[in-house]
Structure 1
Amino acid sequence: MYDDLTLEHFMEGLVKRNPHEPEFHQAVKEVAESVIPFINKNPQYKLAHILERMTEPDKVVSFRVSWEDDDGNIRINRGYRVQFNNSIGPYKGGLRFDPSVNLSVLKFLGFEQTFKNSLTTLPIGAGKGGSDFNPKGKSDREIMRFCQSFMTQLYQHIGPNMDVPAGDIGVGSREISYLFGQYKRLTHQFESVLTGKSLEFGGSLIRTEATGYGNAYFMQAMLAHQKEEIAGKACLVSGSGNVALHCAEKIIQLGGKVLTLSDSSGTLYVAEGIDQTKLDIIKDVKTRQRKRLSVLTEQFTCEFYEGKKPWHIQAELAFPCATQNELTEQDAITLADNGCIAVSEGANMPCTPESVQIFSERGVLYAPGKASNAGGVAVSALEMSQNSIRMSWSEQELEQKLHDIMQQIHDQCVKYGSKNGQINYVDGANIAGFIKVADAMLAYGVV
C-alpha cells in the first residue's frame, strides 16, 4: 500500500529539484491542486508516479546565439528549447523572443502547454522555447541575422515528427520566415517544421486571429451553458497585441460591448464601446504599425488612464489578454463588486492564484488559459495537417473547426469539473488534460 500523495509533499520535492523557478512552481501547484485528489482515487497513476514524471521535461536544450548588429558589434544571447512531453504527439509550442525569457518562464509555459495541447484533442505534445533577445528597436537585417544564428543551433533538435515550434511574444511571421529559411538552407528539406508561416509557403489562414477568437468562443460556450450570451454585455479586454485585438474583434462580432484595451503605459477606455472602425484605427490596418494607446485620445472620443489596468471599470465580462499575473486579488475583488460574472484568460496565467480563489468564492465563472486560449495552438496543429496533406482549408472552414474545438474543450471541462451542480473549470481543464497524457504514459511503460 502506498500512502496518499499530498500537495505539500509533492511541491516540497518539486521546489527542491527546481530552485529559483517561481513561475514554474506556480503553474505546477495550480495543476497539482486539481489532479492530486484525482490521482489518489486512481492508484494506477500514483503507483507509476505519473505526475512526478509529467513535471520533469523530457529534455532541456540551452545554447549560445552569437550574431552581429548593424554597427559590426558581436552580440551574445542565450537560446532555449524545453521539450516537455511528447506522449501524444511531436513537441508543439511557441518560441518567445523577449528579455524576460528564462528557464523558469519556459518551463511554466511548456508545462501548461502539455495540458492545453491535450485539451485540443489533436495529436500534439508540448514544448516551449525562445531567447532573451529583444527584437524591439532592431532592424530587419539584425533580426534576420539573429534568427539565422538561432536556427543554426536549434535545427538539429526539431523536425516534423520530433518538434514543431511556432511563434509567440516577439516572434511573428517575419521571424518565422527567417527561421524557416535558415532551416531549409541547413537541411535542404521543405518540411512542416514551423507553424505560423506566411501563406506563400504553407501558412494557415486565421492563425493570427486564432488565440483571440478562440478565447471569445470559449466565453461564449461558458455563458451558453448558463443560458447567457456575450451579446449586449460590457467587456473589459487587457493588452493590445494580437490576442487582445482579435479577442476584441470577435467579441464585437458576437454583439458584446468592448470598453477597454491596455498597454504598458495604461488603459484606453471607450464608454460607448470600441466598434470595428475604432478597432481598425487602433490596429492601424494601413501601416500595420500599432500606435501607443495614449495617442488615440486625439482620434476619437475616449479616455486614457495612465499607469492603470482596466479592472477598476464596471463590466460584466473580463478577458485578461496581456501577460502573466496581471490580475491580482484586489483586482478580482473589484471586478466581483462591480458585477463581473465571468473571466476568460487570453494570456498564459494572467490571474494570480489569489484572484482565482476570489472568483471561486464570489461565484464568478473563471476559464483558465490552458482551456480558453488553446485556439492558437489548435490552428497551428491544423496548419501541420494542411502541410502534411499538401492542401489548405478556407477561412470559413478553419473558423468553424476552431469554434468546434473550443466547444469540445469546454465540454471536457464540464465533464471533469462538475460537482454538486457547479462547474470548476480549473479542475475540469486540469483533469481532462491530465488523463489523456497520463494514459499514454502508462501505455508506454517506464520511459
Structure 2
Amino acid sequence: MFSQKIEKLIFFKKNAGKNVKASICVMGLGQLMYGQIGKGMLYLTILACGVLYLISRGFTDFVGFFTLGTKEKDAWFGIEGDNSVVMLLMGILFIAAIILFISCYLSNVRDAYETQVVVEKGGKPRTFSEDVRKLLDDKFYKVTLSLPIIGVFVFSILPIVFMIAVAFTNYGGNIVPPKLVDWVGFNNFIQIATLSQFAPTFGKILNWNLLWAVSSTFLNYFAGLGLALLLNKKCVRGTIIWRAFPILAYAVPGFITLLGFRFMFSYGGPVNQMIIDMGYKAIGFLDIDAKWMARLIGLSVNAWITVPSIMLLTTGILTNLDMDQLEAARIDGAKRWKQFTKIVLPFVLFSTTPVLIGQFIGNFNNFGIFFFLRGGLYMDGYFLASDTDLLINWLFNLSINNNYYNIGAAISLVIFLITSLISLLVYVKSPSYKEEDVFR
C-alpha cells in the first residue's frame, strides 16, 4: 500500500500542470487561473485566515503548548502570569487547526488536479454554483455529517486528547493555576507503579477491578441467556408475564435501583428489620469491614439491572436458531448439555460477542454501582479508596475530591489501554472474527 502511494505521488508530480503547481504554492491560485473565481477566493480566504491566526496568536499557542507558561502570576506585584491549563488547551486547538488547514490545502491541490483532468479531456471547469449543487446533491452526506463531526470533536475527541496530555504533566495537588504546570513525561505512570502512596492501592484495586469485570460479565450474560432459554421452553406457561418482571426492573433508572438496594441493606432497612424480628442482631451488609458481603451485593444488584437486557437480546437471537439442528442432535443421542455447548452457545456467542465485549467494558468502568451503594468510604491500606472501589471510582476520588488530576488522567489512560487490549484480543479469538462464514 505504501509503494502504491509513492507511485501515485510520482505520477502526480510528472503530470501536474502549471495551474496545479500554482495551487501548491498559493491556495486558490490554480482555481483562479482556471476562472473558478468563487472557489479560488474561498481557498484564498482560508489561507489568509490561517496566516492571520498564525501571526496573531497561533505561534504563541504553539510555543505555549511546549512551555506551558514561563511567567507565574504574582498578585502582590500585579503580574498577570500564564495559565498553564489554558495554554495546554490552546496548544491542542492549535494542532487541530493545523490539521484542518492541511486538509483544506490538500483539498485545494486535489481540486486543481481534478479540474486539470477535466480540461485535458475537453471539458470545462465547474463553476462555483455547480460545486455547491454537487455538494448538496452527490456529496450531501458530507453536509449532514459536518455538524455531528464537530460535536464529536468538541465533546469527545478534545476532552480525551486533553486528558491524555494532562497525564504527562504535574497538574494536580498543590500545582494548579496560578502556579505553572510542567511536562513530566511518564513520571505519573511511574508513581502509580512504584510510589508507596499509590502503588499498593493501584495493585489491589486493579486485581479487584479485573475480577469484578469478568465475574459480573459472566454472571449477567449467562443469567440472561438462561432466562431466555427457560422462557422459550414450551412447557413454561405465561411467558409474557414472566418476561414482564425483568423488563420492569430494567425500566427503572439504575441509580434509583441502587439507592433502593442501599436502603434495603442498611441498618434501618427492611432486610435488617426482618432479621431483628427473627431475634437476631442487625447485619452491617455494607459496613467498612463487610468486604465480600458488599462485593456480592454489588454483583447481585448489577445483575438485577443488567440481566433483563441480555435476556431480551438473546431471546431475539434464539428465534433464529435452526431447530432442525437440535432435533438432529437429539436423535443422534446428544444430551441437552451437549446440545447447548455445541449448537446453542456457539450460535448465540457469534451474534453477541460485540455486545459481550461492550458489557465487559461497561462493567470494568461501572462507576455507579459502588458509588451509590458504598461511596465515600476511605479505608486503611487504601489511599483515598475502599476495598469495593473500582479504578473509575478511585479516579473520581483522586481527581474530583482531592485534585490529583495528573494521577487521575494517568489512571484513565491505563483503564483505556487495559479495556482496549482485552477487547481486541477477545474479539480476534472469538467465533465472530474467526468463523464469520460458518453462520451465514
Normalised by the length of structure 2, the TM-score is: 0.24
> When you count strand as a share of all residues, which structure comes out higher?
1
TM-score w.r.t. length of structure 1: 0.23
Larger radius of gyration: 2
Greater helix content:
2
